[in-house]
Chains A and B, each alone.
Chain A
Amino acid sequence: MRKRVLSIIVMGLILVPFMFTAVCAKTLKIGSMSPLTGPYAADGNDIKNGVLTAISVIEAEGGIPGYDKIQLFPQDTACDPKQAVASANKLINLEVAGVIGAYCSSSTIPGSATLDEEDIIMITPASTHQDVTDRGLPYMFRMCGRDDAQAPAAVKFMKEALKAKTIFIVDDKTTYSQGLAEGVAKAAKAMGIEVVGSDHVNQGDKDFSAILTMAKRAGADVFYMSLQNHSSGSIMAIQAKRIGLKSQIVSQDAMYHPNFMKVAKAAAEGIYVTYGHTDRTTAAYKAYEKIFTAKYGEIGAYGTYAYDGAIALLKAIKAAGSTDPKKVKAQLLKLDYEGASKHIKFAKNGDSGSSYIAFKVVNGEYVPYWTPADGVLK
């Protein structure tokens, strides 16, 4: 027994120098939270890759003064609220300077509450539910738009561009999808579109034949498909086509993903998707696109927002000259520049504005189709 204790002590002493080197080499730690495994792994890895791209760009520009390197600690939240809290605690123990994430609103909300206890800045690239920033957490920021902006934009699009009079709504009971579905139902009533039916499916369902038959019977002008994930969306699109659903299908930002088209193929044609407008001709976007695609392939739905979030965080840390959350927050609010996804300017509550437009899938591409200001694009 004594021998064992002794050997443990010796082992510990041997490890002491390593601890010193770890402390001495100044590394700026930032975290990311996104689903790296499971059904949402595609989007989750996009977010991680977006942040990694941002780090490589900042390091190429000379890094952050006072730090040798920037290290990312990617956490897997699996779109699970419990795991989001566990990841947040892990990042707190790692003493990260800020966090990019999470993906699902249902993970971001509990995760941010945990991070808030330790005053850690969190910038979400993908969670669009209004409660993410509406709870008044001081260190919560958001790169993407809000559902309460997306839903009215989608309904306005249905009314003006599709001349819809009736709508059928489906969601999968996640915070994000249900929030949007309710928002659309509310906006539809306000704008005089009749909701002829609505139903829910379960996350991970494969068979939608029953609900699609219901939608077919309802015969609405628009079928609003509010799903958390492009994988379910592509399966639903295929089945909708087979069952002969005549309604126009309108969906949201989660379907804005190359994999959606890869799986749904011909069934994706003609589907409308509302998504934040990103001008792909700007120098900032092109520079980002070049680095991202060279390293990680095609850009998914949220890679660009994750990149902008990480750049904003690192810029703010650089300007503040410290990782003190109060100072970094002050610098974040001062930021005013052209990002890759849009013009970056945070509002007091942490939002950065929404710019939803409608895209139409044409020949396997998302083509901008309608904007709230200009109507249907020629």
Chain B
Amino acid sequence: MDYFIQQLINGLTLGGIYALIALGYTMVYGVIQLINFAHGEFFAAGGYVGVILLSYLAGLGFMETHPWICLSMSFILTMGYCAFLAIGVEKVAYLPLRKQSRLAALLSALGMSIFLSNALMLTQGVFDKPYPGELFDGGWEFGLISISYLQVMIVTMTIVLLVALNILVFKTKMGMAMRATAQDKTMSALVAIGSNRIISITFGIGAGLAAAAGIMVGLYYGSVRYDMGFVPGIKAFAAAVLGGIGNITGAMLGGLIIGMVEIFGAGYISGQYKDVFAFIILIAVLYFKPTGIMGVNVDDTRV
């Protein structure tokens, strides 16, 4: 039983991270029906900006005295930076192709992904960068179960961000505009909603969430590397598809399922088939319900 609970906590942490990344895929798809393959790179960029900020603050000595202020500041600045990065990428790589076929934008996204990950490699080097996260080490022990502060922090942060996003999308005017743009761009333009602005905001929010996940991963695993965006990017994409791409609740659910399946597959069967389990679930769900768990008809997507 202890073992099960410990693996459940591990799975929740990993699932939360996947869910945060998956949201970016699903939101962008909801609005412009584009799979943004460069999304994993925003996650990696978030990890790097976070390590740069935190190391700088640690160098100044602020980390020792005000760890929580430093951490929240890094989160806010990093999420803001990555949001602007994503908006820039959208303006450069996707906006000129809006009127072209969807395939053109998809290829542009792939190119952008390769460009961004190589830019990270050239500017930051090929070696792992250590995260100054020792201050957040430690945790609680209940018999055989150990919960680290970081795990609690990741799960709480994930929940807070997910709730905030839900409020934004379903309770505010901005969210209403986003949902309207997703349904019909022409119609929403007629009622004075600037679709380009809404699309930019959607990209920004998605990348901000991915950036938050990037810092969490850096803190949790202790290091970041330039190619860290690729595998989690693919997994989160799978999570978004599993939950029903275009559906926000679906992406959260999909992320949690993929994380749990991976951890339980590794914990009860074998670590070498971890990725296999994640994708088997994806195939199985798509086989029986091609639109994903929460997905409705593809033409009727929500943000």
Q: CB within 8 Å of B: which residues of A?
A: 37-39, 41-42, 170, 173, 199-202, 204-211, 213-214, 216-217, 231, 234-235, 238-239, 241-244, 259, 262-267
Contact = CB atoms under 8 A, between A and B. Distances in A.
Interface in B90-145: 126-128, 130, 134, 137, 139, 141, 144
Q: Which 7 A-B pairs have the closest CB atoms?
A: A210-B266, A200-B272, A209-B10, A238-B222, A210-B267, A41-B126, A211-B271
19 contacts: A42-B126, A199-B272, A200-B272, A206-B217, A207-B10, A209-B263, A210-B7, A210-B262, A214-B271, A216-B6, A231-B223, A234-B223, A238-B222, A242-B150, A243-B148, A262-B130, A264-B222, A266-B134, A267-B222
Contacts of B264: 210
A265 B128 CA distance: 13
Contact of A202 (B3, B7, B148, B274): B274
Contacts of B137: 241-242, 266
Contact of B10 (A37, A206, A210, A266): A210
Nearest to A235: B221
Contact of B221 (A173, A206, A211, A213): A206
B130 A209 contact: no
A12 B272 CA distance: 55
B231 interface: yes
A235 B222 contact: yes
Given A213-B6, A235-B221, A235-B223, A265 B13 contact: no
Contact of B128 (A199, A201, A259): A259
A204 B231 contact: yes
Contact of A259 (B10, B127, B139, B266): B127
A210 B274 contact: yes
Contacts of B146: 242-244
Contacts of A239: 221-222
B228 interface: yes
A217 B5 CA distance: 12
Contacts of B179: none
A113 to B, nearest CB: 27
Main secondary structure of the interface of A (DSSP, over half): helix
Main secondary structure of the interface of B (DSSP, over half): helix
Contacts of B10: 207, 209-210, 213
B128 A216 contact: no
Contact of B13 (A209, A211, A214, A234): A209
Given A217-B144, A244-B141, A207 B14 contact: yes
A231 B225 contact: yes
Nearest to A244: B146
A264 B262 CA distance: 25
A47 to B, nearest CB: 15
Given A210-B267, A263-B223, A41 B127 contact: yes
A210 B263 contact: yes
A7 B127 CA distance: 47
Nearest to A214: B267
Contacts of A243: 146, 148
A267 B148 CA distance: 15
Nearest to B3: A217
A265 B130 contact: yes
A213 B128 contact: no
Contacts of B126: 37-38, 41-42
Given A201-B272, A210-B267, 14 more contacts: A37-B126, A42-B126, A170-B271, A202-B271, A202-B272, A209-B13, A211-B271, A214-B267, A217-B2, A231-B127, A235-B221, A239-B221, A244-B141, A265-B130
